[in-house]
Structures are given as C-alpha cells and as structure tokens.
Structure 1
C-alpha cells in the first residue's frame, strides 16, 4: 500500500476535503446511512489531519450527497443516453454509487481539483474531466446540445457572487434546450456571517472561504425564474433529517418552528420546459 500523500489544497478547492470528511466518516460507521467505499479509500489515502481542520464530523454533506444521488438516478432512469455535468466536483465519488452504463459524465473543475481527483479517479470513455472554472463558459462547448443534460453543482454556488450565479444559470438555460439543474443553497444569514467574519471558523485551525451567495428562501423561486428566463418547474427540497444523536432531535424540531425553513439550507431543482 502506498504512503498517504498530502493533498496540497487551499481556498475553495480545500473545501472538497471538508465534504469528503463528512461522507467518509459516515460511510465507515457500522450504522451508516450512506455507504461510500470509494470515499473511504480516498480519505485513508490522504496525509491530512481532517479533524484538526474541520472538527468532529457530522453527516450533513453525506445527506446532501444522497439528495444529489437521487436527482441523478431519476434523471438517468428518465433520460438514458443523456449527459450529466458536475460543476466543481472535486473528490465527489457519485459515479461509484450510481449504477449507469448509458450516460456521458463530465466533471468541470479547477486545475488543482482535477489534479487531486485524478490521483484516485481516472477519466475514461464515459467520464470526461474538463479543467476549467465553472464560470468559464468554454466548458459548455464540450457538452452535447442535442440530448438531455443534468447540470449539478454541489457545494459550489455559495462561493460565487450573486451576479455570477445569475449569469451562469441564464447562460445554461439559453444554451441547453433539454436541461435540468440541481444545486444547494445556503440561507442569507450564513452567507452574511461568512462575509462579515471573512470566513466561518470551523476550528482554531481552519476558516472556510467567504460564501458571498446566500438567499432568503421566500425569494428564491422568484429569483431563479427571473434568472433562467424560460418556462420552468422549480422544486425547493429540504435536507433529510439527521440519522442520530442531538442533531437528529434538532432536525426534527426546527421544521416545526414558524418560519424556521427560511433559516436552513436546501437543494434547488430546476426543470427547464
């Protein structure tokens, strides 16, 4: 077995280690709700003190990944032979969790992220890596326009400015006639706290990058419809409840409080018509 290697990541690309921490630790539990053998393999192959940076893990990123898996699985069942584009995919291991032999998969990410991804996950005939920022529209030239496409952004858009998110969604809607989008959204108060504090301190040793884009839930549907400028169906999907511990109780109680749903993250799904 080879020696663990340092990931050598900073700023937004380093956040892929934060989400890997959540998925892998959850997967290693005997009572796991999220099996992910590939994430565990990568986690154990990296010379990085995950707990020093990110603290004790919780399953939030694993629960989010499960939501994205469901969206992708539904798309594959309804659109065999389509395209799946993951923006800012990092060390996400979704392709190992979903059975599919028909769709073309594309990963769009920064050079540092693609470099570490390819230490563990190689591209092949159906899985293409595109070394570009998600905001560089050149990646769109690599995606077929004559077939259905699902474009997913997991743990990405909160690091963009609102005008960047608006412009990207508008350009995607204009470019791809048969398109679905799925991405997660943080509430405005988290974004605001991040901006004011110049990043959120997870531990004494790690501060998140600034997250400029957060939204009040009650205004999100209207914003998105205005941004894509096409007829569409929009679903705002709540995270699953936590599977155990004190957070399980919190995740049961919070949705029952008046207005509380406006204060928690969610996943947005857009079906362009």
Structure 2
C-alpha cells in the first residue's frame, strides 16, 4: 500500500475522528476497539492533530460513536431485514466494527469524500457507497424505503444551521415511513468548546453552528418522536479506569451538564 497514493486529497477533518479511534483502541481496548482504524495508523499524518488534541477530545469523538454503535446494533437485532444509512460518512469504520452481513448498509457523502473512502476503506458486499449532498435526499432513491431504516449522522450536523437540519428531518419523515434517526449534538456551551478545539487542529474554516439546548423543543419543531437521549460518557467512565483524572472530570461534567448528547428519534 503506497502511502502517498492512499492519502492524496485527504483533509485533516477526515482524520480527526479516525485518529481518536486509533487512540482509544490502543489505550482503552476493553472499552472500544477498532481493528480497521488501527490498520490505517501507519498511513495517517497525525502530527498536527496529536499535538493539539487532549485525551478528553479523543474520547468525546469515540464515546459519541460508541453510543451510536450500540443503538445501531440494537436496531439490527430488532430488524434483521433493514437499512442502515450513514450520512456524512467520511472515514467512519462503524460498518467494520458492527460486522453485520445481513442488513443493507449505505455510506453517503460528497463525491470527493466517497472516492477517498472507497480507496482507503473499500466497499463490502452489503455496503453501497453513494455520492451526493445528503441534504438533497437523492440518496433515498437508492434504498428500499419500505424496510426499517436507521439513519446515523455522527459529528456532521454541527457544521450546518438549524433551519437546514429541521427542514431535512421533516422531508425524511415524509419519505421514510419506517425511519429512525440517531445523531449527536452539543448545547451552546459545548459548541463553543468544540469550535475552539477544531481551530487548534488547524481547521480554521471548519466552523460549527448547530446546537440543541432543549431536546423536547427540537422534537416538537421537527414533528418527530423521541426514543431516547443520552450522554456520551456513562459507559466509558465505568470502564476506562486508566483515563487521566482531568479527562474523567470533563466526561462526568459533560454528561451532568448535558453538553454532549446522542438523540434518537422515530420519524413517524
């Protein structure tokens, strides 16, 4: 595998969550282990990210995805014949961690990202890569909408404004009669902290805009049904005893103050 060819055109924003998964897999394998991410470690230019990242910010990325993974796994257990759609898929390796060969998996992202994903992560037999703007909802034409469908949006909505996201969810509601949506959000304070971190990694143009302070108000605004909302860190706090004290402190108060959360909605 040629390093230059594999990584040409890859932006730092795609690396941040991947580097976090490598970090957690090496330090907290009893909590989170991502074999696919680890296999890519030799090919990733991590200097800038690792220089400015803290253990807490690595864990925030990983714990978010761990919560979402568990929700997808539960959905798959309850719906053997179904769809799982990752919007803004980037270099997410949830497909490999979940390791389900029966459901239909879809990875949706912009054309240049899908090309990078295909080159780096490949394309499994029950996994389809779809190029396009996720907000146009053209990707829905590629799936069987009569099947139960779980849509996962991880670390993506923050980069768009609230009105655009609400409009998208309302449209998905009309097009996916058996749809569920799981996504992460921060509150206003958490968003400010996240923006400071991303700028430190060198991505000065990756401004984030979307936050949720009141989940029930958002549910009412989107005319959906709340299945569940939970913080990122409860399971990690129980398992990752070797985490730094400051990391555990940040994780505890992040959940306590609702700064980070995963929201699970039923669209209809």
TM tier relative to shorter chain: 0.7 to 0.9
1:49 counterpart (31, 47, 50): 47
**Is the contact between residue 76 and residue 82 of structure 1 (CA under 8 Å) also seen in structure 2?**
yes
State the alpha-carbon separation in 1 of the partners of residues 29 and 152 from structure 2: 28
Please name the residue that 2:179 is paired with.
179
Q: How does 1:122-271 map to 2 (within 5 A)?
A: 122-191=122-191, 200-203=198-201, 205-207=202-204, 209-216=206-213, 219-227=214-222, 229-230=223-224, 232-241=225-234, 242=237, 243=240, 244-245=243-244, 246-253=246-253, 255=255, 260-261=257-258, 264-271=259-266
d(CA) in 2 for partners of 1:150, 1:207: 32
Structure 2: segments with no counterpart, 5+ residues:
none
TM-score normalised by length of structure 1: 0.85
Aligned-partner Cα distance in 2 for 1:148–1:207: 39
| 3-state secondary structure, aligned to 1:135 | helix
Helix, strand or coil at the partner of 1:177: coil
Q: 1:156 to 1:9 in 2, by over 3 A?
A: same
Q: Name the TM-score, length of structure 2 as normaliser.
A: 0.86
Could you say if the C-alpha distance between residues 27 and 192 of structure 1 is closer, same or farther in structure 2, counting changes exceeding 3 Å? closer
RMSD of aligned Cα (Å): 2.4
**How many pairs are equivalent?**
258
Q: Higher helix proportion, which one?
A: 2
1:122-167 CA-to-partner distances (Å, cap 9, x unmatched) read: 2243100000111122111111111100001000001111111001
Tell me how far apart the structure 2 counterparts of residues 91 and 200 of structure 1 sit (CA, whole Å): 17
| Cα 1:101/1:52, change in 2 over 3 Å | closer
The yes-or-no answer on 1:8 pairing with 2:1 is no
Moved more, 44-53 or 143-152: 44-53
Give the aligned partner of residue 96 of structure 2: 96
Contact 2:90-2:114 at 8 Å conserved across structures: yes
Q: Give the stretch that moved more between structures: 69-78 or 16-25.
A: 16-25
Q: Which residue in 1 is equivalent to 2:26?
A: 28
Higher RCO (C-alpha 8 Å, min separation 6): 2
Structure 1: distance between partners of 2:167 and 2:49: 36
Note the residue ranges of structure 1 that are not aligned, 5 or more in a row: none
Distance 1:30 1:66, change over 3 A: closer
